[in-house]
Every structure is written in C-alpha cells, then in structure tokens.
Structure 1
C-alpha cells in the first residue's frame, strides 16, 4: 500500500510538472482572449499562478523525495568489528 501511494504521488507530481511546462505554450500570452475564461483569469499572472503553481510545488516535492532517497541510500550500516 505504501509503495502504491508513492507511485501514485510521483505520477500526479509528474503530471503537474508537465502541465506547468506546457501551459505557457498552450495559451497565447499576447492575446488575452485565449486565457480570459481560464481559472485564474482574466489576468495572465493569475492564469499562470493557478496552472503553473502546482507544478512548481510538485517539482519541489519530487526534488525533496529524490534527495531523501539518495541520502538514505548513502547511509551504510556501521559494523562493529573491533
């Protein structure tokens, strides 16, 4: 169950990161009519905050997860062979 939750959280985080990367290319930032009715609209800053904000948070989550995973693999058990 724990592994399933980890895998699902990574999949959702990758989705949010991909969506955040794609959003500026999907909308026409020079034409307000393309994003005026989106969540966070009618301003471009609001649309980018709503659509890219979760991606930034997910990227920080993924980075922290990788750092924790690498640190846990570096720790080796100390042997007491005195």
Structure 2
C-alpha cells in the first residue's frame, strides 16, 4: 500500500512540475486578457503563483525524498 501511494504521489508531483514548466509558455504574459479569468487572476503574479507554486513545492519534496532515500541506502549498505 505504501509503495502504491509513493508511486501515485510521484506521478502527481511530476505532473505538477511539468505543468509549472509549461504554464509560462501557455499564457501570453503580455496580454492580461489571456489569464484574467484564470485561478489567481487578474494579476500575472497571482496566476503564476497558483499554477506554478504547486510544481515548485512538488519539485522540492521529490528532491528531498530522493536525497533521503539515497543517504539511507548508503548508510545501510
């Protein structure tokens, strides 16, 4: 069960990271009409925070988990 939750969490985290990378290219940052009605709008900062923020958090969590697992493997082995 724990392994299934880890895999699902990793898939969700990677989705959020890819979405965060793609978001600045999907919206036209020079035209507020393209993001005015998005979550976090009408400001560009709000839209980027709402759409990219979870991806940044997911990337940090994934990195921390991978680093801890790497260290734990070296200590045991």
Give TM-score, length-normalised by structure 2: 0.97
Query: Aligned residue for 2:39?
Result: 39
Q: CA deviation at 1:76?
A: 3.0
- 2:6 is the counterpart of 1:6: yes
Q: CA deviation at 1:16?
A: 0.4
Query: Aligned residue for 1:69?
Result: 69
Query: Aligned residue for 2:22?
Result: 22
Task: State the superposition RMSD in angstroms.
Answer: 0.8
The runs of 5 or more residues in structure 2 that have no matched partner are none
Give TM-score, length-normalised by structure 1: 0.91
Q: CA deviation at 1:70?
A: 0.4
The runs of 5 or more residues in structure 1 that have no matched partner are 78-82
3-state SS in 1 of match to 2:5: helix
Aligned length: 77
Q: CA deviation at 1:49?
A: 0.3
Query: Aligned residue for 2:51?
Result: 51
Q: CA deviation at 1:42?
A: 0.4
